[in-house]
Structure 1
Amino acid sequence: MCDCKRTALLLIGLDRERDIHPFSLSPPSLVRGCIIDREQLHFLSVPEEGWEIYSSAQDADGKCICTVVAPAQNMCNRDPRSRQLRQLMEKVQNISQSMEVLDLRTYRDLQYVRNTESLMKVVDGKLKVASENPRSLNPKGFQELKDKVTQLLPLLPVLEQYKTDAKMILRLREEVRNLSLVLMAIQEEMGAYDYEELRQRVLLLETRLHSCMQKLGCGKLTGVSNPITVRASGSRFGSWMTDTMIPSSDNRVWSMDGYFKGRRVLEYRTMNDFMKGQNFVQHLLPHPWAGTGHVVYNGSLYYNKYQSNIIIKYHFRSRSVLVQRSLSGAGYNNTFPYSWGGSSDIDLMADENGLWAVYTTIPNAGNIVISRLEPQSLEVLQTWDTGFPKRSAGESFMICGTLYVTNSHLAGAKIYFAYYTNTSSYEYTDIPFHNQYSHISMMDYNPRERVLYTWNNGHQVLYNVTLFQVIKTSGD
């Protein structure tokens, strides 16, 4: 029998008999033989964390297959009580601001009243004398009394403001009373957990989800998200990237405009700086580049030297070429480019397994060749002939040792072909993606961020990817 609920509890670390940490939360994943589907994210009903088991079955090998929906991030945002609490917090903030205004105004007006207190005593004394002995009020004394009263006239709007403030205080008092009643009702409904405690529990779960994502192994590409346009800059052709290997604390972005004879590389401090086009330094390469198939790997730029099949490793920190080596037999100068041309004969890329070169040769009859490179020496470690004609490919990228090839660089393109270097086998695929600006001249995967970087008709665009992952535990 399949015990899907226990599997789900093991997945999210809620097993009470032993301390189990989650293995995977990436959509979809295979954990202990159980498929975890995170395509639909809702705040559902496994009571302790919001997980729900949808179905269970067994495959041909007798493995338990469970479909489990994981909770969405920021679960409290979907809770109607959260909306009530946010509204209450806004009201409390408004009340606090009103009280501050009242306090400031009252303090100011009180100072004014105190300053006029002596004047009021003088006027009061003169009025008493005039009322007891009207004959004592001569024209001069009458004018003095009139002047004193005139000085007191500004007190009238102050007193009117006091009346208005008194009404506001009554309204605020009623608001506070209503807030107290609503808070008591929510507290009674929520039981032992207050909002802050629930929020902390959600943040803890999200931290665990993120930790699991970082520990995930390789997987098979099953989907590509809608495009995310980061910036529109440069010419129709170019490339942009972040380092595929350095720690996540390094957020630098590099941009290389154009596809041939370029030497200018812009290095931005952060992605936000790249979006704004600010805070960058310029690297002037000693040799011009060809194509757009460049990659930044562990602090160095790997690129194809113009009008040659030479690969150059340029180190950003020392601003020097560390090594250059000819890729034996590789075509260059638009001999075997992608379908869009642009001197894209040699495409360098990196994934979870290291550094790669995608190209073709005359002996391979123009079919795509994959070579894994040694990053320090640029020596070819191993080579595969995919059998797929390079001129029929729009672009390609590596994920987990698998080369994925698009069938076009124009609108309507899809990921059409996959070659698996671990088994030296291939299959035709049908993975659509939205080519928003209709002309892709660069498409590369970043394993550190698990996104696709593309240069699309002068637009710098990102795609998130969905990987099907098989996660094995020590018990398997």
Structure 2
Amino acid sequence: MIPVVLPLLLLLSPALAWIPLNEWESGNVTVSVGEAGQCVCHVYVPETTFPADRVQHMQQVSKDLILEVDIQVKKMVSYEGNLEVYLKELMDLTVRVAMLESSPDKYIKLDFEILRVELREFEALVSQLKDSLNSTSPMFDSLHTEIRNMTLIVNQLETFDKSNLEVIRIEFAKLQKKLQECQKEQEFIKPDIGNCNHTGIMAVSKPTVIQLNAHLSAGYQYGGWGKDSKPVRGYESMYFYGAYTSPNVYDFYLYSDYEKLILRSAFKHHDLPSGWEGTGNNYIVHGNTIYYQHNTPFSMSKLNLTSSKYEYRVIADASQRFSYSYSDHQNIDFAADENGLWVMYASEESKGKIILAKIDEKSFGIEDQWNTGVFKQLAGNAFMACGVMYATRSVDLNTEEIYYAFDTKTKQEKHLNVRFQKFQEKYTNLDYNPTDQKLYMYNNGYYVTYNVKFNRE
């Protein structure tokens, strides 16, 4: 230790003069009086030279540490943001795996592989984050466990998917078949209304069963329904319906449109007055007029729906002995097509074969007629389309067949084999409507329609 002598000037300071000398003696500092009477202080310091270079070094180290801490803090902020993103992605993956687990049959192999890749990427990100933070936090172990669990679930679900692959293939084949059937049905849904440039009917669609009749009773087996085949302005969407528990005609219901028909909300109900009752269920609506078979006298009759005026005309040679095979008293059958209004009946002279006649709508008389080769009692029903009469017959309980056609233009007849499905075995009314090229059938109390496809070679 090296003593350092302080000058006597210290004793001259007014602030120090009153302090006794022995008060300065403490630790590394001693005070005494020299030979000349001066005050001598002895101070002991550790070294002879002050370590300024070490202080500078420590200052630099301190700055570096502060900078490093700042960098690490920024990294922590960045990692915290990444961790939030990763946690959100993990939650999304968890939801997707849960959805996949709840309905694995809705996913394909590609979905499983994508999930597996994303899980691997997420596991790598979590590992990178853990290494960067040099942390052994349980949170990272939990994340790894969750990822492994989800990967296991994905693998199990893919195995489940493979085990049911044959079932899926069968269902897919069924779907393809239904699609093909739908495409075939689509061909019927694009009619060329009013165009008779074809060689006749080549196919009939599957039946569309609308619903049970408006009386909501299957007991009303005799009747008919459909649309006006020559609607007047404002009634283009009108439907009609009438049905009974026997082959009699007492009243008709009119509906403004298809929706009202379904809701059984008729805008008009026609009760046929005494003396104007009918029979046979072969009625149609044409030009806002209902045409039906009159009882007494046996004749064809019509009711104008606007004026409520009734008329009838007797067909001298029409017989009451010949009816269609599905129902009694279907002796006079009305039909309408692109060429106008028609009536079909049989006579004693024709030996029960159908006579086709064209009706003059103004005079309500017969303007022309043709003899056909169809024995009426063997036919299920008959209808007109583009001036051609078509007759049907039963093939079996579920199948009907258009087996005969007579062309009024060429006066030629030919045999056909156009089969279509029946909803139920027996029906009492079948008519073609030229406004939509559909067949309307009243089948054992149900409204049924068919689309018709013509051969347009």
Query: How high is the TM-score relative to the length of structure 2?
Result: 0.54
Q: Where in structure 1 do 4 or more consecutive aligned residues deviate above 6 Å?
A: none
Hey, what's the Cα distance between the residues in 1 that align with 2:237 and 2:331?
29
What amino acid maps onto 1:216 in structure 2? N
Compared with structure 1, are the counterparts of its residues 458 and 392 closer, same or farther at alpha carbon in structure 2 (3 Å cutoff)?
A: same
Deviation, 1:406, is 0.7
Secondary structure of the residue aligned to 1:274 is helix
Give the percent of matched residue pairs that are identical in Structure 1 and Structure 2. 26
- Say if 2:255 and 2:268, in contact at 8 Å, map to a contact too: yes
Residue 214 of structure 1: CA displacement?
A: 3.8
Alignment of 1:429-468 (within 5 A): 429-468=416-455
Q: 2:301 maps to what in 1?
A: 312
One-letter amino acid of the structure 2 residue matched with residue 292 of structure 1:
N
- Counterpart for residue 239 of structure 1: 224
Matches within 5 A, 1:17-32: none
CA shift, 1:331, in A, is 1.1
The answer for the alignment partner of 2:291 in structure 1 is: 302
Is the CA contact (8 Å cut-off) linking 2:222 and 2:247 kept in structure 1? no
RMSD: 2.5
Query: Aligned equivalents of 1:448 and 1:273: distance in 2?
Result: 19
2:196 is matched with: 217
Secondary structure at the counterpart of residue 250 of structure 2:
strand
Tell me which of 391, 395, 398 is aligned to 2:384: 398
Separation in 2 of the partners of 1:319 and 1:381?
25
**CA–CA separation in structure 1 for the residues paired with 2:194 and 2:229:** 16
Q: Counterpart of 2:262 in 1: which secondary structure? A: helix
Q: Deviations over 1:340-361 (max 9, x none)?
A: 2321011001001110001000
Residue 226 of structure 1 aligns to which amino acid in structure 2?
A: K
The alpha carbon displacement at 1:469 in A equals: 2.8
2:409 to 399, 416, 422: 422
Deviations 1:96-146 (A, max 9, x none): xxxxxxxxxxxxxxxxxxxxxxxxxxxxxxxxxxxxxxxxxxxxxxxxxxx
> Compared with structure 1, are the counterparts of its residues 212 and 450 closer, same or farther at alpha carbon in structure 2 (3 Å cutoff)?
closer
Instruction: Give deviations 1:215-238, integer Å, cap 9, x for gaps.
Output: 633431000000001121251121
Given the alignment of the two structures, is residue 345 of structure 1 paired with residue 331 of structure 2, yes or no? Answer: yes
> Do the aligned partners of 2:299 and 2:315 also contact (CA within 8 Å) in 1?
yes
2:238 aligns with one of 252, 277, 285: 252
- Whether 1:328 aligns to 2:316 is yes
Deviations 1:276-317 (A, max 9, x none): 212432111231111111111111111110254311121111
1:412 to 396, 399, 414: 399
Q: Which has the larger radius of gyration?
A: 2
2:357–2:368: 8 Å Cα contact kept in structure 1?
yes
**Of the candidates 273, 280, 302, which is equivalent to residue 291 of structure 1?**
280
In the TM superposition, what whole-angstrom CA distance separates every residue of 1:193-231 from its partner, at most 9, and x where no partner exists?
xxxxxxxxxxxxxxxxx9993463343100000000112
Distance across 1 between alignment mates of 2:272 and 2:456: 39
Counterpart CA distance in 2 for 1:253 and 1:356 is 20
Give the letter for the 1:411 counterpart: N
Unaligned runs of 5+ in 2: 1-83, 93-188
Relative to the length of structure 1, the TM-score reads 0.52
8 A Cα contact 2:209 2:423, kept in partner: no
Within a 5 Å distance, the mapping from 1:83-122 to structure 2 comes to none
Query: Secondary structure of 1:302's match?
Result: strand
Q: What is the distance in 2 between the residues matched to 1:302 and 1:247? A: 16
Kept after mapping to 1: 8 A contact 2:193/2:434: no
